[in-house]
Amino acid sequence: MKELKIFTPATIANVSCGFDVLGLALDTVGDEMTIRKVAEKGVRITKITGQSVPLETQKNVSGVAALALLAEINTDFGFEIEIDKRIKPGSGIGSSAASSAGAVWAINKLLGDPFSTKDLVRFAMEGERLASGVPHADNVAPALFGGFTLVRSYEPLDIINIHTPSELYVTVIHPQIEVKTSDAREILKTTVTLKNAIKQWGNVGGLISGLYTEDYDLIGRSLEDFIVEPIRSILIPAFDLLKLESVKAGALGCGISGSGPSVFALSKGKDTALKVAEAMRIVYDKVGVPYDIHVSKVNKEGIKILESK
């Protein structure tokens, strides 16, 4: 095997109550990447289509992640990366994570799987460090593991793959305004009230419990964020109305995807997720900001091979 073409998914980080720890992978939204073993050592980004991101290895998140992997193994060959970037950078659905995770996942496969998935998370986090200044794992973990993931701890890195009910669908709207992860992080307060923190970890417990027991009502009741959403939602036009109409249309819950501006809703079943998409569309047609809407099952597999040579 010398070449792999892969699908690498968009991801929703935080998932309301799980700020900085929870994430989930999408199925119908993601980048396509081709990774090729070549004689020349090192990593080169040879082609980027779809979006404008840097070609220079050291400035490209997939390049940096790939170099982090190759720093831990001796090879007498190198890799070329082609990216068909379908996730818009800055959309809040893990654009940089998809590229970082995809690169290291495919290189690991081409090398015969010398690294564990947890190692791959570690390498891909270097791409995240380049993208936002913070080597967070809440997008790269679900991209690499699939389904819902929990980053229990960073020191040491401890990623838990959470059971994902089969009927869980995501509707995500991307209002085409720019919210930089670094800006979205800066407006957060560095302290929170103990009272709100307790509510938040009560909901994290409820959400995880609901996922394992496939209790969709409990999942819905737990999709509340007392800490981050009240602050960040002011950056997203018509956020409150999106949430209200999504829940009216049958969504279990609705919140900010990552640091925004995308907004996600979880639903039981595809029909409801499509109704939620329609409700979001009606809200945003009035707002007048351009947008994309995606409907996707939660992707239990993560990255997928499209072709191999």
Cite the active site residues.
128, 181
180 touching a copy of itself, by CB under 8 A: no
Which position among 21, 25, 223, 266 is part of the footprint of a copy of itself (CB under 8 A)? Answer: 21
147 touching a copy of itself, by CB under 8 A: no
Which position among 55, 111, 157, 218 is part of the footprint of a copy of itself (CB under 8 A)? Answer: 218
**Longest CA span, the chain:** 58
Quick one: 156 or 288, whose CB is closer to a copy of itself?
A: 156
222 touching a copy of itself, by CB under 8 A: yes
Residues 26 and 257 sit within 8 Å (Cβ to Cβ): no
242 touching a copy of itself, by CB under 8 A: no
SS3 for 204?
helix
Which position among 172, 227, 254, 303 is part of the footprint of a copy of itself (CB under 8 A)? Answer: 227
Per-residue contact flags (x/-) with a copy of itself for residues 79 to 108, judged by CB under 8 A: ------------------------------
Q: For residues 189 and 227, what is the distance between their CA atoms, to the nearest angstrom? A: 9
Residues 6+ apart with CB under 8 A from 83: 31, 32, 33, 45, 47, 48, 49, 50, 53, 62, 99
Q: For residues 36 and 103, what is the distance between their CA atoms, to the nearest angstrom? A: 10
CB of 13 to a copy of itself, least distance (A): 12
Quick one: 162 or 256, whose CB is closer to a copy of itself?
A: 162
Q: For residues 117 and 178, what is the distance between their CA atoms, to the nearest angstrom? A: 32
* Piece of the chain touching a copy of itself by CB under 8 A; list 50-58, 83-91, 154-162, 245-253: 154-162
Q: For residues 250 and 256, what is the distance between their CA atoms, to the nearest angstrom? A: 18
Q: For residues 105 and 69, what is the distance between their CA atoms, to the nearest angstrom? A: 10
Q: For residues 111 and 79, what is the distance between their CA atoms, to the nearest angstrom? A: 11
SS3 for 122?
helix
Binding-site residue total for a copy of itself (CB under 8 A)? 40
- Beta bridge partners, 84, equal 32, 49
234 touching a copy of itself, by CB under 8 A: no
CA nearest neighbour of 147 among 128, 166, 173: 166
Which position among 2, 163, 180, 309 is part of the footprint of a copy of itself (CB under 8 A)? Answer: 163
304 touching a copy of itself, by CB under 8 A: no
182 touching a copy of itself, by CB under 8 A: no
Which position among 4, 11, 19, 64 is part of the footprint of a copy of itself (CB under 8 A)? Answer: 19
SS3 for 222?
helix
Cis ω for the linkage preceding 9 (within 30 of 0): no
Q: Identify residue 182 by its one-letter amino acid code.
A: S
Quick one: 205 or 230, whose CB is closer to a copy of itself?
A: 205
* Piece of the chain touching a copy of itself by CB under 8 A; list 85-93, 216-224, 248-256, 257-265: 216-224
Tell me how many degrees the CA angle 91-96-97 measures, rounded to the nearest 5.
110
214 touching a copy of itself, by CB under 8 A: no
Quick one: 49 or 193, whose CB is closer to a copy of itself?
A: 193
74 touching a copy of itself, by CB under 8 A: no
Which residues form the interface with a copy of itself (CB under 8 A)? 17-22, 150-153, 158, 160, 162-163, 188-195, 197-206, 208-209, 212-213, 218, 221-222, 227
